[in-house]
Amino acid sequence: MGKRIPIIFLLIDGLADLLSKEKTPLMKANTPNLDYLASKGMVGEINLLPKTIPPNKIYSSLSFLGYDPKRYKIKRGAAEAIGMNIPLKDGDLAWSYTFATLDEKGNILDRKAGLDGYKLDEVVRSINEFVDVSVPYVFLRSYDTRGALVFRGNFSDKVSDNFVYGSKKPRMVKPLVEDKAASLASVITNNFIENAVSVMEYHQVNLERMNKGLLPVNYLIVRGASSKIPNLPDFKEKWKIEKAIVLAEPGVERGVALIAGFDSINFEPINFSSDLNRIFNQLEDLIVNYDFIFVHLHHLEKVCWKQDCDSKIKMIEKIDEKLEFFRNFEGIFVLGSQRVISCKNREDVHSKVPVLVFGKKKDKVKKFDEKSVKKGKIKGISGTKLWSIVFGK
């Protein structure tokens, strides 16, 4: 038996930006370690999603781990709940939600309420205390303005979201089929949102948020209804490894990995610097016990949403400092951008995403950024093909 070669996969949401005449934050950042790893490894682009599938967290997570999102229909609500350690059974209705901000006319001012979670646990407690919809439910926040809402019962997930991309106003959740379980799901969800809005409307936390220059929270956007326990082929069995673990905040990415058979570490996010330090402090111990370590960083999405490109540059440079760890790494290191998120218009962009593989073959590219990787060996391949290269299959 040959020597075990550990693999670390670092997936960073929003690392890549939309190419334009101006340099992207990744191009502007001083990244000597990323560039070193690129010069000693190979780079390129992954074609995560076909044009028919919109770019978002659930689809990109599936695709980057090698699961075709057209074939494996994992709903966001289930992934969110599983990633938050909320037990599910068939018939439970799981939603992924975000706190949102509407203006006085009911238009969507910010569908993620600035992605700032300041004091939102107090709002969550109030909603749990005062909202009664006649069925048991679980309403928890994961991080920032996100969380999961689960109704216990025998529901159908054949219901609409209450938000459509590009729309100015939210809409009611509606049944998509003529079915009692779907009708009940829509009624219960709409009732919950209506009551939650009443709790939020005059909540003290909103005054405190506005005094700090933050957006108030006065609405819930729900997406990705799921009423069945999802499953995926086991990642370990597929690639013939023994142990795999995910190190990620509660939520979709952790949920997808758990569904795919990964072990996990409970990792409650604090802030960017603290989370980054805690992750890299754990890597050496994890390498001893695991063949594959999947690490997810979500923090760049927040500064993209705030259109704070200067902070994005600084955060990329902080990540790069930590990547010195891999200069003498006796294993394989894979780094990818989960999504391309424009810092100018703060929306997901349907595009190939950059990737780096260190510890396998080498190409002639000396830098890692959105433009340089186009000259690399990895030419628009799928997530499955990426792991075929990494595992040598």
Question: What was the pLDDT predicted at 253?
Answer: 96
Position 1 scores a pLDDT of 42
For the segment 8-27, the average pLDDT, to the nearest whole number, is 94
The pLDDT score that the predictor gives to residue 393 is 67
Binned at pLDDT 50, 70 and 90, residue 349 comes out as confident
pLDDT digits (tens, 9 = 90+) for 89-104: 999 999 999 999 999 9
Q: Whose CA is closest to 354, among 341, 332, 337, 367?
A: 337
Mean pLDDT to the nearest integer, 14-21: 91
Q: How many residues does the chain have?
A: 393
Largest CA distance in the chain: 67
The 10s digit of each residue's pLDDT in 58-82 is 989 999 999 998 899 899 999 999 9
- pLDDT digit string (tens) for 131-169? 999 999 999 999 999 999 999 999 999 999 999 888 899
CATH node for 7-74+231-391: 3.40.720.10
What contacts 24+ positions apart, CB below 8 Å, involve 62-66? 62/232, 62/256, 63/382, 63/383, 64/11, 64/336, 64/338, 64/383, 64/386, 65/235, 65/256, 65/257, 65/260, 65/294, 65/383, 66/235, 66/238, 66/382, 66/383, 66/384, 66/386, 66/387
Provide the residue type at 244 as one letter.
Answer: A
Structure confidence by residue, pLDDT tens digits, 312-333: 999 999 999 999 999 999 999 9
Q: What is the pTM of this model?
A: 0.95
Residue at 148: amino acid letter: A
286: its two tokens: 């994890």
User: What's the average model confidence in pLDDT over 290-307?
Assistant: 94
Name every residue whose Cβ is closer than 8 Å to that of residue 86 and which is 6 or more positions away in sequence.
94, 138, 140, 148, 150
Rounded average pLDDT over 119-125:
98
- The mean predicted confidence, pLDDT, of the chain is 94
**Percentage of the chain with pLDDT > 70?**
99
DSSP state of 372: G
- Return the axis-axis angle of helices 76-83 and 57-64, rounded to nearest 10°: 80
- What pLDDT does 166 receive? 82
> Which pLDDT value is given to residue 345?
82
User: What is the model's pLDDT at position 2?
Assistant: 55
**Within 13 Å of residue 5, how many CA atoms lie on the same side as its CB?**
13
DSSP string across 257-297: HHHTT-EE-------HHHHHHHHHHHHHHHHHH-SEEEEEE
User: 183-235, pLDDT tens digit by residue?
Assistant: 999 999 999 999 999 999 999 999 999 999 999 999 999 999 999 999 999 99
For the chain, domain boundaries: 7-74+231-391, 81-226
Closest CA to 260 of 283, 299, 292, 284: 292
